Amino acid sequence: MNLQNSDGPGYLAQHRLFDQIPELLNDIIIPDYCAFGEDGIDNVDMNIWIGPSETVSPLHFDPKSNIFCQVVGRKFLRIVSAAETENVYPRKDGVLTNTSQVDARNPDIAKFPRFGEAHVFDCTLYAGECLFIPAGFWHYVLALDPSISVSCWFTTKS
């Protein structure tokens, strides 16, 4: 095994820690709203995000709805409706077609002029708060503090 030292801080992103240590589920309550999903409460995909301040998830969308719960610290979110997809310049090839070409923190409007027309919703999520992000909605996430977050992904009924 070849381990290399990294100059940057560690970030545990979108990790299935609850599958590895199921005892942690005793400390997490799955939001009731997830029970209304197509697959029921037993099929909620839960992942954890643990990292220092300034960690970023670039502007992207997920195929499932998400109740994003902030456990520790604060996170800034920039959200754009799925109806505005063309205004966020999704990547056209490769595996990251659910990711925007735009740096949502510092958008280059000269290069991506339609992004300036997008209706953007900004919010700060504090410890103990949850946010519903519908499937297909674009979102950018920036940790303002060292933080822990939990994503509860589920399929909504048509």
pLDDT, tens digit, for every residue of 76-98? 999 999 999 999 999 998 888 99
Give tens-digit pLDDT for 40-53.
656 788 888 999 99
pLDDT the model gives residue 1: 41
Closest CA to 105 of 81, 86, 77, 130: 77
pLDDT the model gives residue 2: 42
Token code pair at residue 13? 């992103």
In this model, does residue 117 exceed pLDDT 90? yes
Between 43 and 108, residue with greater pLDDT: 108
User: What pTM value is reported for the model?
Assistant: 0.83
In the chain, what are the domain boundaries?
Answer: 12-23+31-154
CB 56 within 8 A of CB 141: yes
Structure-token match 């998830």, residue found: 57
In this model, does residue 3 exceed pLDDT 50? no
Query: What CATH number is given for 12-23+31-154 in this structure?
Result: 2.60.120.650
